[in-house]
């Protein structure tokens, strides 16, 4: 009985996913340019947030290295743009992010708690400064130019990467790896004692999540004609996915996507209405959402729903 229920749940989710994909894929044929541009932004943050949740959600290791892998994608795009076709460029960025993350993870994932957060925070700034210095000495410039791709091309690329990210996240969640990650987050020593290769599981998942960050970077880089280390390795790129995940709630995969969509949209409105006060209001929104929504928007909605139905019955 339970098995049937589960397969039905699975096929419903898969069906919904396919419908969503079709709607999003056909959208550029019917709508204006602005909506597509906005969707590119939303999908970008959805990729980063879901990829971040894949590793940091279950394990509780707060990674602030997102900007490092995303920025790496930027630079792969800048270095190889024009010489390599677009799809290959994206794959190249994903592969290099994987390799770099494997190295970083192997070095640092023995750090626990806040040390890991501090380390990854510093890593972004280190890479930024090293790239700045290398460019200054070697190429004697500060930035680079990237060959642009049509808006539609970018849209489809980020859409495909988005669905790959979701698919990977779902597969990891439901596999043995997902359970292993969950148990690492709950009690790492116990996980190690029950036969999980803790280090390998953490490093491999960390590197897998970096693939999508790198790919997103390479795609979005083509939206800009000019990039420099400050644009590529921006700390906002590290912090925003964390906030979006918290804003949406990390209990399932809908939360992070919803969080990314809402947060990006709010940011967009603020940016157009109050260009001067944008960052200030954004800061206030961050603080308020951390303060008053400990379980994210989805958690808030569920709480309200439960109250409306009268009483705090646990779901049966």
| Residues forming the site for another protein (CB under 8 A) | 60, 62, 107-108, 111, 113-115, 117-119, 121-123, 125-126, 129-130, 133, 136, 235, 239, 242-243, 246, 276-277, 279-280, 282-287, 290-291, 294
Query: Would you say 33 or 103 has its CB closer to another protein?
Result: 103
Please report how close the Cβ of residue 128 comes to another protein at its closest, in angstroms. 9
Tokens of 180: 């292993």
For another protein, give the closer residue by CB, 157 or 240: 240
Q: How far is the CB of 235 from another protein (least distance, A)?
A: 8
Residue 188 C-beta: closest distance to another protein, Å: 12
Taking the complex as a whole, how short is the minimal distance between the CB of residue 126 and another protein, in angstroms?
Answer: 4
9 or 133: CB nearest another protein: 133
We find the least distance from the C-beta atom of residue 270 to another protein, in angstroms, to be 12
Decide whether 177 or 282 has the Cβ nearer to another protein: 282
Is the Cβ of residue 33 or residue 283 nearer to another protein in the bound state?
283
């Amino acid at each position: 009985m339970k098995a049937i229920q589960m397969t039905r749940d699975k096929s419903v989710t898969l069906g919904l996913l396919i419908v969503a994909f079709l709607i999003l894929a056909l959208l550029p044929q019917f709508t204006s340019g602005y909506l597509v541009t906005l969707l590119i932004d939303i999908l970008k943050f959805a990729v980063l947030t879901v990829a971040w949740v894949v590793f940091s959600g279950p394990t509780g290791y707060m990674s602030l290295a997102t900007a490092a892998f995303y920025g790496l994608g930027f630079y792969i795009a800048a270095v190889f743009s024009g010489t390599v076709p677009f799809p290959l460029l994206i794959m190249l960025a994903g592969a290099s992010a994987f390799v770099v993350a494997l190295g970083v993870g192997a070095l640092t994932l023995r750090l626990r708690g806040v040390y890991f957060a501090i380390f990854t925070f510093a890593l972004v700034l280190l890479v930024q400064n090293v790239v700045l210095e290398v460019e200054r000495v070697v190429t004697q410039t500060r930035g680079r130019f990237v060959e642009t791709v049509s808006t539609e091309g970018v849209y489809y690329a980020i859409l495909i990467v988005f669905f790959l990210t979701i698919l990977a996240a779902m597969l990891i969640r439901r596999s043995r790896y997902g359970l292993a990650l969950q148990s690492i987050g709950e009690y790492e020593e116990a996980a190690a004692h029950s036969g999980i290769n803790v280090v390998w599981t953490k490093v491999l998942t960390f590197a897998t999540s970096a693939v999508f960050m790198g790919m997103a970077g390479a795609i979005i880089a083509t939206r800009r004609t000019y990039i420099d280390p400050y644009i590529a390795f921006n700390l906002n790129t590290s912090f925003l996915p964390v906030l979006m995940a918290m804003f949406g709630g990390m209990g399932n995969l809908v939360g992070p996507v919803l969080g990314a969509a809402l947060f990006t949209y709010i940011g967009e409105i603020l940016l157009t209405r109050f260009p001067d006060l944008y960052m200030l209001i954004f800061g206030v929104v961050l603080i308020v959402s951390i303060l008053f929504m400990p379980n994210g928007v989805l958690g808030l909605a569920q709480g309200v729903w439960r109250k409306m139905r009268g009483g705090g019955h646990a779901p049966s």
